Structures are given as C-alpha cells and as structure tokens.
Amino acid sequence: MARSMKELRILVADDHELIRHGIRGILRARRGWKVIGEAANGQQAVEKTNKLKPDVAILDVSMPDLDGLQAARQIRDASPNTKVVILTMHESDQMVHQVLDAGALAYVLKSDLAANLVKAVKDVSAGRLFLTPRVSDIVLKGFLKNANQSGSAEQTRAKPTPREVQIIRLLAEGKANKVIAANLGITIRTVETHRARIMVKLGLHSLAGLLHYAIRQNIVTLPGPSE
C-alpha cells in the first residue's frame, strides 16, 4: 500500500520512438517512478491521459494530429491533477509564452534533456514551476524588457485583494480552475469570475502575462538553477 502511494505515474508522448526510449531510460532509473503509458501523437496523449490519469505527462511540442501545446490545454481541462512537462527544440520568448499559456509547468529543451528532465518531473510533481536556467533567462528578459512601462501602469491600477493574490499565485503555478476551486473551497464558476476580474483589473491578456506580473510583485519567484 505504501509503495503504491509513493509511486509517480508518468506518461510519455513523442512521435519518435528513439526519443521515447531515451526518456524511459532516464525515468526508470528513479526509484518509485513508473512509465504507465506512451503516445506517438497528441491525440493519443490526450486519450491515454484521460484513461490512465498519470501524475505527470511529458509532451513533445511537435507531434502529428495534435501538437503538444494543444494536447496540454486539453489535458489541463480534462485531467487537472496531471502536471505537464513540455519538450521542445525551440528556444524563444514566443515559445516560452505559448508553453506557459498552455498550462504546462515545465519547459525543457531537448538539448538539455539528460541534465534537466529528472529535476523537471520532480518539481512539477510537487506543483512547482520548472524552467531551465536558459529558459528562466528568456522569461526574465521578457518581462524586464517592459518592466518600467508595466510597473508605471501597475502603480495606477487597483491592487488585487488577498483572495485575488491567492488565485494569481495558483494560476501562475499552473493550477487548473478545478484545482484552485478545491484548494480554496469555492466553486469553479467563482474561480472563473475572479480570474476574469483579475485580468481586467491588471490589464492582462494571457497566463504568461499573469506570470510576469506575479514575478514582478514577488507573488511567485522564478526557479533557480538545477540542483
């Protein structure tokens, strides 16, 4: 009984069998971790996640039928307790924003796979955001680029209430509306209402923008280098 409670159940989705094999090798070396399913495209990833309810889903961003970002959004809605790790070969501010907006908690470059995948899975399984140092730098530069303008505008806007700060923190951590509702003891509709009001109040248009705001206001912090 104790062993099953500690077991971390993982699904791996990539359209290249060789890469899935490599990921399995990295993950199976960890005691208590189990790859419970694999998928060769995004649609399979969504279907198997809905059926198996893994703790963590590792998704390649470039897959046929349904790409990793589309799959992440569907998984976030259908299986909110499943944490998503996105794998990609692309290192850009635009891709980072797309990954965060899709609700993934980790962005791992395939070039850094061996060095960072285990840490990414550990962090997201604990509900923490994971970005490699290089990706964290992209995020940091992205919001610092407009920090002065955003900061001035934020000073003139109404401040979020304590409840809104709670919701901002949970949203920035990648939590789905269902999870936030359960954590705070409120309905999903109430969470959706708070979320809409927060975005209007703060003049934001995306989850990535909300993450930038949360970092600027010290509501959440960027992860440090891998330990």
Q: Is 146-216 the same fold as 2-138? A: no
pLDDT, tens digit, for every residue of 21-49?
999 999 988 999 999 999 999 999 999 99
SS3 27: helix
Residues in Cβ contact with 128 at an 8 Å cutoff, skipping those fewer than 6 apart: 105, 173, 223
pLDDT band at 5 (very low <50, low <70, confident <90, very high): low
Give 1 or 159, the one with higher predicted confidence.
Answer: 159
Residues in Cβ contact with 132 at an 8 Å cutoff, skipping those fewer than 6 apart: 107, 108, 109, 112, 116, 226
Q: Write down the pLDDT at residue 38.
A: 97
Cβ atoms 213, 154 nearer than 8 A: yes
CATH 3.50.30.30 is right for the domain spanning 2-138: no
With tokens 């790790």, the residue in question is: 85
E strands in the chain: 8-13, 33-39, 56-60, 83-88, 106-109, 130-131
pTM over 0.75: no
Domain-by-domain residue ranges, the chain?
Answer: 2-138, 146-216
Which CATH architecture fits 146-216? Orthogonal Bundle (1.10)
